[in-house]
Structure 1
């Protein structure tokens, strides 16, 4: 099944690239920075980077904003709150929350690819309060209880 995602470029961002898959089987669409001037992220700093577009998607979808592996590996640039969720009813500008975990300042240029967006299907869920839960072998064991 194919889902249609509508992209609206915001005024002043006609030069910013559309979200785009960089290979035939890529899961994510690369997102471009719509910064008005180069933005320097010093080590440990974070910034909310605009993408220059807003979007509409079917109610059964969500968009997840994730880091680009090349920026993370080469420069220590990643997304906070990753993956960030964009709900189907949000109509504001899509923005990317980046942080510099590297040792050097990193400059974000206009139209630079800064993150990727993966569209996911969100199942319809019903939450039910109960008095008891079913038993399992694991039980309440968590946080390393298996020895890993």
Structure 2
């Protein structure tokens, strides 16, 4: 049974007005698609190996205890080699500024971003309140201190 929807206030900035409201595209989708809020008659080109901050034209007010993760869209990665550079980017519950998407082009050709293009997805998730406490030793486990690659390929 799906969880009850979380109500999140959203404010459109002037350059984002007219874009579609971020939405989950299917009933089983985890992420809400974010669209590029660049000027209507312009194109932002991202050369291979380069990155760019793409505005979404929106700000949100997450409830305390939640974050929004800005993640890549798999289609852009598979077709063009374009992904979110700091994936997942985190939008904290106390942030009220514009959500920006840092896209990087790992592909072989220049990637053109146009207004309204779905450039990333946003997943809203609960966060844990964490308080660390110092100890001289930690409990032993079978894995111990074995790090990267220690559990197989």
Q: TM-score range by the shorter chain?
A: over 0.9
**Aligned partners of 2:43 and 2:113 also within 8 Å:** yes
1:114 alignment partner, one of 119, 129, 152:
119
Counterpart of 1:137 in structure 2 is: 142
**Aligned partners of 2:37 and 2:56 also within 8 Å:** yes
Separation of aligned partners in 2, 1:125 and 1:5: 24
**Aligned partners of 2:15 and 2:37 also within 8 Å:** no
Q: TM (normalized to structure 1)?
A: 0.96
Counterpart of 1:29 in structure 2 is: 32
State the shift of 1:6 in Å.
1.0
Counterpart of 1:12 in structure 2 is: 15
**Aligned partners of 2:35 and 2:118 also within 8 Å:** yes
2:52 alignment partner, one of 43, 47, 58:
47
Runs of 4+ in 1 over 6 A off after TM superposition: none
Larger deviation: 104-113 or 122-131? 122-131
**Aligned partners of 2:71 and 2:122 also within 8 Å:** yes
Counting matched residue pairs gives 148
Question: Does residue 126 of the first structure (1) align with residue 131 of the second (2)?
Answer: yes
Q: CA RMSD in A?
A: 1.0
Counterpart mapping for 1:71-90 below 5 A: 71-90=76-95
In structure 1, stretches of 5+ residues that fail to align are none
Deviations 1:53-96 (CA, angstroms, capped at 9, x unpaired): 00001110000000000111001110011001000000000000
